[in-house]
Structure 1
Amino acid sequence: MSVTVRPRRSPAARRVRAAALLALGASLALGACGSGAPSDPVTADAAIDAAKGAAPEPVVPDRWPLTGVAADDVVNRPAVAVKIENPKEVRPQTGLDQADVVWEQVVEGGVTRFVAVYNSQLPTEVGPIRSIRPMDPAITAPLKGLVAFSGGQAGFVTSLADSGVQILSHDRGDGGFYRAKTAKAPHNVFGTLATFLEQADADHQNLPPEQFSFARAVAQSSAVTAGTPAASVAVHISSYSNPGWDWDAEAGAWLRSESGVPATAPSGARLSAANVVVVRVDLVDSGTVDPAGSPVPETKLVGTGEALVASGGQTLAATWSKPSTDAPLTLTAADGSTVTLAPGNTWVELVPNGSGTVTVS
């Protein structure tokens, strides 16, 4: 006896077929209630064609794309990347503890600045918000979302806008920015994520693509399955910036410090990460200077180099690669396999080759 197996239709195909059958049923019902003449086949065909041409609904996954965390309430909304400063006088910053991904980059004088990316969580406010730098397009373009900032050289702003993101600028009066009375300029610009999202145009309204590969569970992540146990990861970015990460088994997270001082949110809770990704990069002179006359450095993120991945209390050596500005950064293990991270938030440390160091203990 032969059995015919019909291929399973996708959800979108089933919706189209259901719509077509409903339209066909409606036309038959109208025909039956009329003069008794058979229904017009042209009308039925038109209804089916219309249903086929209907725009498909966005496919919302069951995991947040920037964290790999499973959820029943994943919302179809874009990522919002916000430039947040990091000199000692502004700590603790607002909203860093709720970012899906935080990139740390070195700017003038060895001070670092953050690109904090929000998607799965939306804190009420974020800041202090500062200006963009020449490496920001390579960080934000793969997200295909919004970038909020306050200030930046004209050439940097143009490059960011040309990278395909939607820019939200405090300087040009976009909504969502305000000056707090609790700090002095220029450290007093904060933002409201909900208002930023309200301004998303038609080309920047969907979930971001996945930026890293995630395991389904911490125990299945690459560092846990193939790495080496580690208690801490100490990073030397410059004489000013020395972030550190200590593994807390009870919390199941890496806890952040700034030059040995615990880094916290305004609530007092420690800043933490499920994953810490150290990316060794070349740091070059961008050919521009800031208002004080200091050279503006640029991190080169298109290319390839050494990386270190910390997840689940273990670390794994890896290679990073990024073929173009708008391509996500990929992580590859020594055996050629794609590195998978633990579900949760990720901090990316951009550590200069030559002057920067990474110490695992």
Structure 2
Amino acid sequence: MGHAGDMNLRLLAVAAATSLALAACSSSSDPAEKPAPGASKGTAKPLVEVSPLTGKAMKKGRPDNPVFVVKIENTDGGAPQYGLDHADMVIEELVEGGLTRLAAFYYSSLPSKVGHVRSLRTSDIGIAGPVGGQIVASGGASGAYRKVEKAGIRVFSEDGGAPGFSSDPLKVRPYNRLIDLKTVNRKAKRTRIPGPYLPWAPASGAKAAAPKAGAATTPAPKKATAATVRFSDFTTTSWALKGGKWVRTNGHAEAGKDFKADTMIVLSCRVGDAGYTDPAGNPVPETVFEGRGEARVFHGDEVTSVTWVKSGLKKGLRFETADGKPYRINPGHVFLELVPKDGGGVTLG
């Protein structure tokens, strides 16, 4: 594939009698899974790569495009949100005024209509960096652009003349910008993906390595079928478990086409000052998406408390249980909520 780091995304498909075994290396702190017992040179099938964003095998091979990270408005003004049902992963982040914005990741599918597209933030370095994501935004402060580009992240911005932008005739600026990712991809180059975004569990259908009930230092998972994620006094995101998927109940997506999460993860993050204000004079926050903090993993009706660890802005996430053991995420579509450590939180229902 041309880059040694891309080997981090591969898995070995063994004979039909043997389940798929991951060979996806992430970092020195998250070693590769060993091939399943019984795999041999005579029984192995061709290598199949694993999606860095879902942990699932890419049976048709790697897409001929980079990972695009589209910044999407997340208020009534930008409703409806288009294209979320085609995203591989979604992250909600804090912006100025106590509001939030979405960063939707597209790799396996490139929709011709995504939006409504808004501006980037310096927080996006830590969000897009782990998979070499290329950011699609309608604009942004000059200082934010410089920091993002200095970090080595490519930006396709309408302000910078990027192709594929159009106007929604039913909306007004700045809430009317749409993007055709197929058009953007004609100007993009497939880039190196350092490794998986999350530490994926084996794709054999087994559950993630949840802590055992009754363990002395690790609490058992709690039960929940609803949750309220609080970002500020002005913004909360409500969730419900429906048909085995976690879905937003107060989201702004096009009817019937919201992102459906196999796993929803709430991460408590430190929030700093980006160093500039928006046109209304509001200080712009910067989510520090590195270090470590508390996290809750929602999968099915179980909620597991773990610690998230991210050793650098461009590093992938890993998780630890209370007794220091690795915790892996079931392959599938994941929604990450980056809530402020101070002032944010989650309530189970």
Tell me whether the two structures share a fold, i.e. TM-score over 0.5. Answer: yes
1:229 aligns with 223
**Cα contact 1:103–1:115 (8 A) shared by 2:** yes
**Cα contact 2:291–2:311 (8 A) shared by 1:** yes
CA distance in structure 1 between the aligned counterparts of 2:231 and 2:255, rounded to whole angstroms: 27
Of residues 181, 200, 204 in structure 2, which corresponds to 1:214? 200
CA distance in structure 2 between the aligned counterparts of 1:194 and 1:265, rounded to whole angstroms: 21
Give the number of aligned pairs: 295
2:110 aligns with 122
CA distance in structure 2 between the aligned counterparts of 1:301 and 1:169, rounded to whole angstroms: 23
1:12 aligns with none
Q: Shift of residue 285 of structure 1?
A: 2.5
CA distance in structure 1 between the aligned counterparts of 2:115 and 2:210, rounded to whole angstroms: 32
Q: Shift of residue 71 of structure 1?
A: 4.2
Q: Given residue 154 of structure 1, which amino acid in structure 2 is its aligned partner?
A: S
Counterpart of 1:61 in 2: which secondary structure? Answer: strand
2:236 aligns with 242
Whether 2:55 is the aligned partner of 1:68: answer: yes
**Cα contact 2:125–2:313 (8 A) shared by 1:** yes
Shift of the 60–191 alpha-carbon distance from structure 1 to 2, 3 Å rule, reads farther
CA distance in structure 2 between the aligned counterparts of 1:95 and 1:310, rounded to whole angstroms: 23
Which structure's residues are more often helix, by fraction?
Answer: 1
Counterpart of 1:89 in 2: which secondary structure? Answer: helix
2:282 aligns with 294
1:254 aligns with 246
Whether 2:166 is the aligned partner of 1:185: answer: no
**Cα contact 2:227–2:240 (8 A) shared by 1:** yes
CA distance in structure 1 between the aligned counterparts of 2:69 and 2:257, rounded to whole angstroms: 22
Q: Shift of residue 171 of structure 1?
A: 0.3
| Mapping 1:1-361, distance limit 5 Å | 61-76=48-63, 77-201=65-189, 204-206=190-192, 209-215=195-201, 216-217=203-204, 219-223=206-210, 227-248=221-242, 251-258=243-250, 263=251, 265-361=253-349
CA distance in structure 1 between the aligned counterparts of 2:133 and 2:228, rounded to whole angstroms: 32
CA distance in structure 1 between the aligned counterparts of 2:252 and 2:122, rounded to whole angstroms: 28
Shift of the 324–208 alpha-carbon distance from structure 1 to 2, 3 Å rule, reads closer
Shift of the 74–256 alpha-carbon distance from structure 1 to 2, 3 Å rule, reads farther
Q: Given residue 211 of structure 1, which amino acid in structure 2 is its aligned partner?
A: Y
Percent identity of paired positions between Structure 1 and Structure 2: 35
Q: Given residue 134 of structure 2, which amino acid in structure 1 is its aligned partner?
A: L
**Cα contact 2:278–2:284 (8 A) shared by 1:** yes
**Cα contact 1:312–1:342 (8 A) shared by 2:** no
Structure 1: state its 5+ residue gaps.
1-58
Q: Shift of residue 180 of structure 1?
A: 2.1
User: 1:108-167: CA deviations, max 9, x gaps?
Assistant: 111100111111222221111111112111111111131111111111111111222221
Shift of the 122–222 alpha-carbon distance from structure 1 to 2, 3 Å rule, reads farther
Task: Report the aligned-residue RMSD.
Answer: 2.1
**Cα contact 2:87–2:259 (8 A) shared by 1:** no
Q: Shift of residue 274 of structure 1?
A: 0.7
Counterpart of 1:277 in 2: which secondary structure? Answer: strand
Shift of the 335–218 alpha-carbon distance from structure 1 to 2, 3 Å rule, reads farther
Q: Shift of residue 319 of structure 1?
A: 0.8
Counterpart of 2:144 in 1: which secondary structure? Answer: helix
Q: TM-score, normalised by structure 2?
A: 0.79
Q: Shift of residue 267 of structure 1?
A: 4.1
Q: Shift of residue 191 of structure 1?
A: 0.6
**Cα contact 1:82–1:149 (8 A) shared by 2:** yes
Q: Shift of residue 356 of structure 1?
A: 1.1
CA distance in structure 2 between the aligned counterparts of 1:93 and 1:269, rounded to whole angstroms: 9
Counterpart of 1:160 in 2: which secondary structure? Answer: helix
Shift of the 360–192 alpha-carbon distance from structure 1 to 2, 3 Å rule, reads same
Structure 2: state its 5+ residue gaps.
1-45, 213-219
Counterpart of 2:305 in 1: which secondary structure? Answer: strand
**Cα contact 1:223–1:315 (8 A) shared by 2:** no
1:10 aligns with none
**Higher mean C-alpha displacement, 108-117 vs 239-248:** 239-248
Q: TM-score, normalised by structure 1?
A: 0.76
Counterpart of 1:234 in 2: which secondary structure? Answer: strand
Counterpart of 2:149 in 1: which secondary structure? Answer: helix
Q: Shift of residue 223 of structure 1?
A: 4.6
User: 1:33-70: CA deviations, max 9, x gaps?
Assistant: xxxxxxxxxxxxxxxxxxxxxxxxxx973432210123
Q: Shift of residue 206 of structure 1?
A: 4.9
2:8 aligns with none
**Higher mean C-alpha displacement, 226-235 vs 126-135:** 226-235
